[in-house]
Structures are given as C-alpha cells and as structure tokens.
Amino acid sequence: MKATTIAPSNIAFIKFFGKINEALRLPANNSISMCLSGALTTTTVEFSPLYKKDSIEILRDNFNEEEKRRIVEHLERIRKLAQITTFAKVVTKNSFPKSSGIASSASGFAALTLSAVKACRLNIPEKELTILTRLASGSSCRSIPDGFVEWKKSKTSENSYAYSLYSPTYWNICDVLVILEDKPKKVTTTDAHKLALTSPFYKERIMGMEEKIERLKQALKKKDFLSFGEIIETEALNMHAVMMTTNPPLFYWSEKTVKLILAIWEWRKKGLSVYFTIDAGPNVHLVCEEKNKKEVVSYLQSLNMGKIIVNKPSIGARLTNKHLF
Ligand code: DP6
C-alpha cells in the first residue's frame, strides 16, 4: 500500500484571499492559476500495519508541529474514506524552499492527497480529488488539474472544486520566479485569510471580482498578453493593498520586493513586455512570453537579487514509480 506523486506548485493570477467557511476552506471568490514546471513536491506514502504511528519526514528541511498536525489530520480524513485504521509513513521533498511565498502547501497537499488515496487503493475522480485536497489547503486543489486552472467558489463543499481551463501547451508563457528571501513567512496564509475582513477595502475587492475574472478569461482566450499582464499585476497589487490594510497589517514585502517592482516598471518602459505577481511572501514572479524569457532572465541576473527558477505551464499532480523510500 505505497504510492508516490509529483505535484507542481501553482501561481495564482487571480488570488484566493479570504474564506467564507474556515473549516471547509471555502473561498470567497473564484481563483485562476497556472501549474509551475519548476516548483515540485514529491511525496511517498505507505500505509502498513508495521507502523505504530504516523511518521512524517521532509528531506533537507523541517516540518513544525502545526504542519505535522495538518498532515496527520489529512491522513485521518483519507483513512476514514478508505475505512482503514493503519498508520502511514510519509516522506516528502521539495525542489524549492518551503514557506517562502511559493505555495509549498499547494504542491505539498496535492502530492500527499494523490499518494495517500492511491496507497489506500481508493479510486477517486479528479474533481473529487480537488475537493478532498482543498479541505487540507485551499490552493492545493489548483495543483491537481493540468495547466491553467480555475477553482470555483461555492457555498457547499461538493461544488467548490478545481478544473483545467487549458492544457499546459495552450500558451507559451513563463513564470520566472525570483527567490528574494527563503525564510518562513511571519504569518501563515491560513492565519492571513482570517484577517481579510478587517480591511476596509476587502468588500470592494470582492465586489470587483466577477468582472475581473471575466476580463482575465477573455485575455486567456485571445492569448492577449498585454491585457493578461495588466490584469494579473493589478490583481496582485489589489490583494496586497487589502493585506496591508488589515488589522493587524499583513506586510509580506521586503525592500528587495519594492526594488524589483520598480525595476520591472522601468524595463517595461524600455519596451520589455514583463509583468509581475506576488503571493503571500516577498518573492516576485515575473510573467512573460517565452520569446522574452532570455531577456527577462538576463535583466534579473544583472540585479543579482536571488535564486531564479524558470517555470513553464505544467501538468498537474501525477503518479511516479520512483519512491522516496
Ligand atoms: C495568497 O491555500 O495557502 O497564495 O487554505 O489556509 O492553506 P489555506 O491557504 P492557502 O492560501 C493561498 C493564498 C495565496 C493566494 C493564492 O494562492 O490564490
């Protein structure tokens, strides 16, 4: 009863910020993302009567007690579904630093969910898998389907799922991620979501969402990169403006973040078509078309601000026979 999964992290172009139901992790708005080819989690899960308790290990890194508790809680959920009581051994590794604004919980829980489900020999269709992993971490549901993905909001658990809008090969765009800091963030996203409503601008954000999502979908459909870039950048700034005005404020940026944003605007003035988005951390994702990737990377290298990871759109979570133990 052993299975291994590779799951990508994803970058949200339309962000998930704020929940209408904490326990079920139901989002206040739909979100749209892309699976990242270069930010992957590999996880092996084995259930066996030989294990006297659940054991969880992350290679070249550490889990804190809260993270372990969340993983065990999710194993419980899956054991219940499979009607088993056997303990599990979980070994996982990331290709990028954990807790740095790259959604490690997204790739982490997507990989854990698929591996645990397969190790239990459960047969669960993709839509239901996205719902199951959503219960452990919201954004992880967007790491199950391929390519460009939408996660739907709903008042009920069974209708809040993620599905693929377009395959990874649909559009040749890149996400060039710069890791400016790799320390764990001060406030976890789970805690951040709880503060959303304390910002005077949150309601305004939600009110404009449907129209913004429609515009993004149109830009995606037409592969209109300029409109696409403009929308995702304004959306990231909108979420961070709301974050910065919560009580207490959620301030995820560092000096380097601001420096890089200003540099990107300068590059754009000079004619380079590149836009940015930022999740709950200081690190910046630069989004460009494949044809401009080299130039974007070389501009970034000249600033020498941190490790660069170049991502293409990728497939979602998939099984592999390369077990970690
Ligand atoms: C800012 O999915 O990490 O990255 O459900 O509490 O685990 P939990 O939250 P999480 O939130 C991600 C928030 C975000 C935006 C996004 O990825 O859409």
Q: How far is the CA of 23 from the centre of ligand 1 (A)?
A: 14
> Given this model, what pLDDT does residue 186 score?
81
Span 42-53, pLDDT tens digits = 999 999 999 999
| Shortest-distance Cα residue to atom 3 of ligand 1 | 189
The answer for residues whose C-beta is within 8 angstroms of residue 285's C-beta and 6 or more apart is 11, 175, 176, 177, 178, 276, 277, 278, 279
Confidence of residue 125 (pLDDT cuts 50, 70, 90): very high
Mean pLDDT of 290-314: 96
Assess whether pLDDT exceeds 70 at residue 59.
yes
E-state strands within 78-193: 88-94, 148-151, 162-166, 173-179
> Given this model, what pLDDT does residue 203 score?
97
Span 163-188, pLDDT tens digits = 999 999 999 999 999 999 877 778 88
Assess whether pLDDT exceeds 70 at residue 102.
no
> Given this model, what pLDDT does residue 217 score?
98
Residue (of 94, 188, 105, 112) closest to 140 by Cα position = 105
Mean pLDDT of 98-103: 59
Assess whether pLDDT exceeds 70 at residue 86.
yes
> Is the Cβ atom of 279 under 6 angstroms away from ligand 1?
yes
> Given this model, what pLDDT does residue 184 score?
75
Alpha-carbon span 75 to 308, nearest angstrom: 34
Q: How far is the CA of 212 from the centre of ligand 1 (A)?
A: 19
> Is the Cβ atom of 31 under 6 angstroms away from ligand 1?
yes
Contact yes or no for 42/6 (Cβ under 8 A)? yes
Confidence of residue 61 (pLDDT cuts 50, 70, 90): confident
Mean pLDDT of 288-306: 97
> Given this model, what pLDDT does residue 55 score?
96
Query: Which residue reads 């904490």 in tokens?
Result: 22
Alpha-carbon span 175 to 33, nearest angstrom: 11
Assess whether pLDDT exceeds 60 at residue 101.
no
Confidence of residue 4 (pLDDT cuts 50, 70, 90): very high
Percent of the chain scored above 70 by pLDDT?
A: 98
> Given this model, what pLDDT does residue 64 score?
86
Q: How far is the CA of 104 from the centre of ligand 1 (A)?
A: 10
> Given this model, what pLDDT does residue 99 score?
56
Pocket test for ligand 1, best of 25, 189, 195, 279 (most atoms within 8 A of CB): 189
Span 203-262, pLDDT tens digits = 999 999 999 999 999 999 999 999 999 999 999 999 999 999 999 999 999 999 999 999
Alpha-carbon span 68 to 61, nearest angstrom: 13
Contact yes or no for 66/185 (Cβ under 8 A)? no
Phi-psi region of 62 (alpha: psi -120 to 50; beta: other; left: phi over 0): beta
Assess whether pLDDT exceeds 70 at residue 121.
yes
Confidence of residue 100 (pLDDT cuts 50, 70, 90): low
